[in-house]
Structure 1
Amino acid sequence: MLTSGRKGLEASARGTTVLLAALVLASCASGEPEAKIEHLCNVADASEEEALLRGILRADDYTTDINNRTSRVVEGLERNLRDIGPAKETLSTSMCAYKPTPRAGSDRARFEFGWVPRTSKDAEPLLSGGGRFDANGAFGESNYFQTRLFVRCDMPGDLAEPSKAAWLYARASYSFNIGRTDIDQAAKDRQTALAYLMARRVTDALGCENKPLEKPPVVKPAPTP
């Protein structure tokens, strides 16, 4: 599914209005509830996410690829947590990709999520040139083209026990930075803050009972172990 930034959204608004009106009429006639397009990828105008995203993309506008709706993200993560093994991270579930406009090849900021056992080496630093960070108890590392964030997510019900032995991870990749030499610590911190805010949407959707990312993102360098 593809949506766009402010300019593209305004351009598609009229068609969306007509479509929604048709859906409402159809639902009234059939007694079915109104159809909803539910996803975690919308970036509101004048929000912190928008400011970070535009700064990271270095673009005035962008388009949005919606890889999975909210229900698919939650279902995939819950299924993977039930099946998680003792030593290796689960396959990631893709959520969104944001592309600068005008487009330049495969440039994008992409966000995906999964689980990793707390005893696994997959949660240890592995990025070339990466700097470790702490963000309100979440932790990870960030370099010029990727951020890896790990956070405790206490799941309800039958997933409570497996969630105690795993970290929820967010992986953000910034392909437009590959080959650049001007990505300083401030740029890495912006990338980390955006990954934190996108991960908050997932922890809210999952219903993490400890509300791990409720506070505003405050990114601090973590001490070297």
Structure 2
Amino acid sequence: MGAIAFSAISCTTTEPPSQAKDRLCEISEGSAEEALLHRTLAARSYDTEWLHRDRDFSERMQDMLRHSSTPSTPRVESCGFAPRDQQSNARDVVIHFSWTPRVDPSKHPRLKERTYYELGNSFGESSDAFTELRTPCTIPGDLRTKSEERFLHAKATYSADLDAAPDTTMRNEQVSFLYLMARRATNALGCEGNPLKADPVAKPIATSSHTSAPEGTKR
């Protein structure tokens, strides 16, 4: 991953003092998440919106899993990040989570507009418009069976495509940032075995063939 350098970096958050111990959206100064977020936003400073506290997030995700009659569930938004300095290519980022069927991602068509990743037992893909990560998250207790049948699905969506041509380094960083944010979700949910404990190593999967995106499909 290339060096990331910014000066006069600052941020603000919208969470009240009672949320100070929550970790779902907290970005520590000097952390890997901070450096990756600045690159993803294309901005030196940003504001954070806490869309769910850790406990609320965990309860809602578990309730959806417990009561779902379908393999996939609606998404739960967790965090929003918005550039404070409006540069020409700056963009907002929103992170949300859902449950999806635990099927082998390699069985799905791979589109040439996207870059694909394997990160341990997790699977990622990234484009100019979004990044996704699917990871096993077995929850002990009454949710064990249902959680073993599904992936925890993390997704970051961006308010605008970057002006530049597709950049593999940028996509690597987008996947790495989402991985680190998904780690917080697995901690909040109590996923068995800390599935995202290892640091992310984002290396694109070499593919010999791709499929063009269907008409109307967003990259």
TM category (shorter chain) comes to 0.7 to 0.9
Partner of 1:60: 44
Question: CA contact under 8 A between 1:151 and 1:167: conserved in structure 2?
Answer: yes
Aligned to 1:149: 133
For residues 97 and 193 of structure 2, the distance between their equivalents in structure 1, rounded to whole angstroms, comes to 18
Could you tell me whether the CA contact under 8 Å between 2:44 and 2:85 is conserved in 1? no
Question: Which of residues 185, 188, 198 is equivalent to 2:171?
Answer: 188
Aligned residue pairs: how many?
A: 197
Give 5+ residue unaligned stretches, structure 2. Answer: 1-8, 210-219
Q: Measured at CA, do residues 153 and 8 of structure 1 come closer, stay the same or move farther in structure 2, by a change above 3 Å?
A: closer
Q: 1:101 aligns with which of 79, 84, 100?
A: 84
Of 180, 185, 189, which residue of structure 2 is paired with 1:206?
189
Residues in 1 aligned to 2:136 and 2:10: alpha-carbon distance in whole angstroms:
34
* Greater share of residues in helix: 1
In the alignment, structure 1 residue 71 sits paired with structure 2 residue 71: no
Higher relative contact order (CA 8 A, sep 6+): 2
- RMSD of aligned residue pairs (Cα, Å): 2.9
Q: What TM-score, normalized by structure 1, do the two folds share? A: 0.77
Match of 2:10 among 6, 15, 28: 6
1:140 alignment partner, SS class: strand
What do residues 27-86 of structure 1 show as CA deviations (whole Å, max 9, x unaligned)? xxxxxxxx5545411100000000001112121100011111111110111011112334
Larger radius of gyration: 1
What TM-score results when the alignment is normalised by the length of structure 2?
0.79
Note the C-alpha offset of 1:199. 0.1
Instruction: Give the 3 Å change call, closer, same or farther, for CA 137–223 of structure 1 in structure 2.
Output: farther
Percent identity at matched positions?
Answer: 32
